[in-house]
Structure 1
Amino acid sequence: MVRKILVVDDEAVLLDTISYNLEQAGYQVTKAADGLSALDAARTETPDLVILDIMLPGIDGLEVCRQLRRERLTAVVPIIMLTAKGDEIDKVVGLEVGADDYMTKPFGRRELLARVRALLRRADYPITNSGNQDTTNNRQESLPRRKDLHSGDLSIDQAGRRVTNRGQNIELQPKQFDLLTYLVRNRGTVLTRDQLLHHVWGYDYAGDTRTVDVHIRWLREKLEEEAANPKLIQTVRGVGYVFRG
C-alpha cells in the first residue's frame, strides 16, 4: 500500500524538493502552501503523515497542528514540524501542541526519510504492539494482545491505549503514551535519552534529545502529584530517566 504524506510549506522550492524526495522514495504526496489549504487537504486526503512548517501565511503551523489534533480523522496522524535553525521556543511549542517530532532547517534527504520511516513504522506497530484498529493496517489484528500494566495507582490498558492514575482517566498524545509504556515496561532500569529516541521514536541515530525532555515534562505534569518533585519518573543526572513506580 502506498503511504500518503501531506507536505505543508510556503517556500515553493523547499516544498517541491521535499515532495520530490518523498515521491522518489515511493510515497504519494499532497502539497499545501498555507494553513487553510493544509487543513482542507488533511480532511479530504486523510494522509498517513504530515510534514508541517511552523511559519505559514494566514493560519500558522502551530494552529494547524492544534486543529488537526482536535479532529477525529487526524487526531493520531504523525506530524513532523519544520522549524528555522535556532528557534528553540518554536520546537518546544510545536511539541506541546501535539507534534510528534520536529526537524530544523536545513536538513538532508537521508534524515528526512529516516524520520518519516520511523514515524510511519511506529504508527503501524505502536511500541505496545496493541493494534490501534486502523482499517488500513489489518496486519495488526494478528498481533497478540498485550496485558495491562499496573504500578501503584497507575494502570495502562495497552490494547485500548488508555491510562488511568489514581482513578482518573489521563489523556495522552500517542507519543506520550508510547513513552510512558516503555518506561513502565522497563521500570527500575535507567534509560538514556538516545535509548528512548531509538525505542519510542524509532530513530536509528542519535536525535535531538530535547524531544525526550519535553515529553517527560508532560508526563510528569499529568501523572505526578508534584511535577517539580517527581516520584514516578525520575531523572538520573548525566544519564537519562528511570520509572520508579
Structure 2
Amino acid sequence: MNTLIITGAANGIGRATLIKAIEDGYFVIAADKDADGLSALQKEYGAEVLETHVVDFADNTVIKGFIPALYERHSTIYGLVNNAGIYHGKSVYAYSDAQVDEILNVNLKALVYLSKDFAEREMQHEAPRSIVNIASVAGEVGSCDALYGATKAAVIGLTKANAWNFAPFVRVNAVSPALIHDTAIYDTIPTYRRDEYARQEILKDPILPSAVAEVILLLVGDAMRHITGRVIPVDNGAYPR
C-alpha cells in the first residue's frame, strides 16, 4: 500500500482527494488545521488507511518540521499533494502585514519546504515518486486577490523548476482549477468574479471537488509516469492557454 501525503485534507478539494486516494488503495497522511474535520474523517475511515495531523502551515516551525517528523514514523512515502491554501478575495490594500505573511507561508513557502524535504528523502530510493501542487487559473490569468494570484503564479513556477530539481525519480506536476463549486473558496469569491469565470466556461457542467480529485490522483499515479513539469487545467475549457 503506497503512502500519500495530502495537505488541506479536511475540506473541499483536499477532502475529495483523500476519499479518492483511499478508494484507490493508498494509505493517506492527512494534514489540516481543521481538527474537527480531520477527526470526522479519522472516525469514518480508521487508522488502517488514514493518519491525521492537526497543523497550521502558516507557522514557520511547522513548515520546516512537518516532513522530517513524518519520516520518524515512515521509512518511505510515495507521493505528496500540496493542496493547503488561503484565499481572501479582497484587494491588496485590505491585507494586513500579518495576512501577507500568512498567505505567503501557506500558499508558497510551505510548498517549498514540504517539496524539498520530501524529495530529498525519496530520491535516495531511486524509485518513482510524485508531487502534485494545486495551482489556480488565478495564477495564470490574474485574480481580484493579488496575493492569492501571485502565490499561485509562483506555485506554477515552482512546479516547473522542481520538475528539473527532483528528476529523474520525483515527478512534479500541478493542477490548475478554475471555478470549483462546493468549497469554502467558492463562497468567498466576489459575485462578479464568479460570474466572469462561469461566462468563460465552454463546458457547462459545474466542476466539483471530486472531479479535481480524479485529475490529482491520475497525476499521482503510474499512468502519468512520463509526465512532469506540467500544469493541467481543470476549468471547463475557460481561458484557453
Q: Normalized against structure 1, the TM-score is what?
A: 0.33
In terms of fraction of residues, the more helix-rich structure is 2
Q: Normalized against structure 2, the TM-score is what?
A: 0.33
Which of the pair has more CA radius of gyration?
A: 1
